Amino acid sequence: MGATTKLLRWYRLHGRNLPWRRTRDPYRILVSEVMLQQTQVDRVKEYYRTWLKKFPTWKKLARASNADVIHAWAGLGYNRRALMVRDVARSVIEHGVPKTEVAWFAIKGIGPYTAAAVSAFAQKRRTLPIDTNIRRVLGRLLLGKPFAELKDDETIRSKADDFLPRRGAYYDVPQAIFDLATLICTKNPDCASCPLRKDCKAAKLFVSGRVQIPKRSIATARERKHRNKPFPDRIYRGRILKTVRERGQVSGRRLGQMIDPDFDKHLDQEWLEMMIDRLAKDGLVSYSRKIITLPKG
């Protein structure tokens, strides 16, 4: 029995029951994929259902204002994603639903992973969306690398061409790999429970104890922090947006103390204004005459 067959059999028995796996609607698939970026699956399930009640179709979302989508996205973080999905909806209404992976990728805001994911899961294209999870599993299985890196993606894609079936449910293979990565092939894998242990080129390395598990398998970019602040700027930008969302409008003179009890007007005012400017450039707030509001566009 081939490795792909083993994987799909395991998936049918142990795969996670997730709402976006019960649809082939490109809109719903896109929403789920964007929400899943930087956000845990359990949190996404709740927001996914709520979002679809408010914006059930491309058309409904395309008509939404910036403020509408920012309110609906509240709590998921990385709020630019909300505006990006809305802008994709406007593109779809104007030009139609893309039919190919290349056409999805041509839309502003959609990266190679998302383009491949929508093509595979919504349109049943034979393509492989590579994210951290798929890179980890296939790097081990096909390359024998305990911790594959971004530079290995093209090799993984080439090797995976034989791993993806030519017929049948090839579009389920990436979903099966996601679940294997989450349940078994984690950073510190449970090789004894893996259905692919006899096929995996890295399994013997892990079982023998010859692999040293790094604290971080992939180097992460250092986040910007202002002087002695305990959190990165990203957290304070989130607080700014939350405050504006809840109050409707906020005076720039009062905002500093609202987001940081240790705010110092002399040392932190320029930092605060830089964060407000960035949020405004991203289309997440409007800033006029020292008053901050949600945008109307």
Q: What is the CATH number of domain 25-121?
A: 1.10.340.30
Alpha-carbon span 179 to 135, nearest angstrom: 13
Please check whether residue 61 is in contact with residue 85, taking contact to mean a CB–CB distance below 8 angstroms.
yes
Give the distance, in angstroms, between the CA of residue 153 and the centroid of all CA atoms in the same chain.
Answer: 18
Domain ranges within the chain, ordered by starting residue = 25-121, 233-293
The pLDDT value recorded for residue 38 is 85
Alpha-carbon span 206 to 202, nearest angstrom: 7
The pLDDT value recorded for residue 176 is 97
Orientation angle between helical segments 80-95 and 66-73, nearest 10 degrees: 130
In single-letter form, the type of residue at position 91 comes to: S
The answer for residues whose C-beta is within 8 angstroms of residue 253's C-beta and 6 or more apart is 290
Q: Tell me if residue 33 is catalytic.
A: yes
Catalytic, out of 33, 46, 154, 246: 33
The pLDDT value recorded for residue 221 is 52
In single-letter form, the type of residue at position 278 comes to: R
Please check whether residue 256 is in contact with residue 265, taking contact to mean a CB–CB distance below 8 angstroms.
yes
Nearest to 30 by CA among 98, 132, 102, 128: 98
The pLDDT value recorded for residue 15 is 95
Burial, 104: exposed, middle or buried (Cβ in 10 Å; 0-12, 13-18, 19+)? buried
* 3-state class (DSSP) for residue 286: strand
Write the DSSP string, 88-100: HHHHHHHH----S
Give pTM, 2 decimals: 0.82
Handedness of CA 226, 263, 230, 83 (dihedral sign): negative
Instruction: Find the DSSP H helices in the chain.
Output: 3-14, 26-36, 41-54, 58-62, 66-73, 80-95, 101-105, 112-121, 132-138, 153-163, 173-183, 203-207, 233-247, 252-259, 265-281
Q: Does domain 233-293 have CATH number 3.40.50?
A: no
Q: Which two tokens stand for residue 31?
A: 């929403």
Query: How many C-beta neighbours within 10 Å does residue 182 have?
Result: 12
**pLDDT (tens digit, 0 to 9) for every residue of the chain, 297 residues total?**
799 999 999 999 999 999 999 999 999 999 999 999 989 999 999 999 999 999 999 999 999 999 999 999 998 988 899 999 999 999 999 999 999 999 999 999 999 999 999 999 999 999 999 999 999 999 999 999 999 999 999 999 999 999 998 887 888 999 999 999 999 999 999 999 999 999 999 999 999 988 888 776 444 456 788 888 899 998 999 999 999 999 999 998 889 999 999 999 889 999 999 999 999 998 999 988 789 999 886
